[in-house]
């Protein structure tokens, strides 16, 4: 996947418009809105989607998967009422956009991806290194199973 990792003033302006859109759709939690505003969604998409990355729409990321619609990410996140150091188990890492939004709110995120190719792409995605509060697992990773039992109890 070819990613654009430049976060220009244009991208920041488009993110602000996106935040306005999800706010108009009913998202009220200012912390969630700020997290959406702080995470460059275009980083999580192939550079071919650069011009539409901030449209409130899902887009393909490969392996038959999509990056979720920003409103969906905001809605799910708002429902969780995340507090700093909350632990979240995410099933289906995908592009890691949702995981980063949760991490930006201070959550400790444990995320599992079954698609090996997506898991491997995320391991190589340098931007994710700034979120040590996200732990990535693949379903083949035996380290994930004790974790799931621990979080479910």
pLDDT tens digits for range 44-101: 999 999 899 999 999 999 999 999 999 999 999 999 999 999 999 999 999 999 999 9
Determine the structural domain holding residue 86 and report its residue range.
Answer: 9-152
Q: Which residues are catalytic?
A: 68
Query: Is position 74 within any domain?
Result: yes
Alpha carbon distance 52, 4 (integer Å): 13
| CATH number, position 46 | 3.40.50.150
Alpha carbon distance 85, 105 (integer Å): 9
The overall average pLDDT reported for the chain is: 91
pLDDT of residue 4: 75
| Percent of residues, the chain, with pLDDT higher than 90 | 84
* Region of poorest pLDDT, from 14-23, 84-93, 133-142: 133-142
Mean pLDDT of 125-152: 75
Question: Collapsing DSSP states into helix, strand and coil, what is residue 79?
Answer: helix
Query: Is position 2 within any domain?
Result: no
Query: Is position 43 within any domain?
Result: yes
> What is the tally of structural domains in the chain?
1
Ramachandran sector of residue 62 (left: φ over 0; alpha: ψ -120 to 50; beta: rest): left
- Closest to 98 in 3D by CA, of 27, 88, 9: 88
Q: Phi/psi of residue 64, each to 5°?
A: 75, 15
pLDDT of residue 139: 73
Query: Is position 131 within any domain?
Result: yes
Query: Is position 59 within any domain?
Result: yes
- Closest to 25 in 3D by CA, of 72, 65, 80, 95: 72
């Amino acid at each position: 996947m070819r990613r654009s990792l430049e976060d220009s003033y244009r991208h920041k302006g488009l993110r602000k418009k996106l935040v306005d859109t999800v706010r108009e759709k009913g998202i009220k939690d200012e912390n969630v809105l700020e997290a959406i505003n702080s995470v460059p969604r275009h980083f999580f998409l192939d550079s071919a989607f650069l011009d539409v990355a901030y449209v409130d729409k899902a887009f393909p990321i490969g392996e038959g998967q999509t990056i979720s619609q920003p409103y969906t990410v905001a809605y799910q996140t708002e429902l969780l009422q995340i507090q700093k150091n909350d632990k979240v188990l995410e099933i289906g890492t995908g592009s890691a956009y949702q995981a980063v939004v949760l991490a930006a709110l201070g959550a400790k995120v444990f995320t599992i991806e079954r698609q090996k190719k997506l898991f491997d792409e995320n391991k190589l995605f340098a931007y994710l290194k700034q979120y040590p509060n996200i732990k990535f697992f693949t379903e083949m990773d035996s380290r994930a199973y004790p974790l799931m039992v621990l979080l479910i109890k």
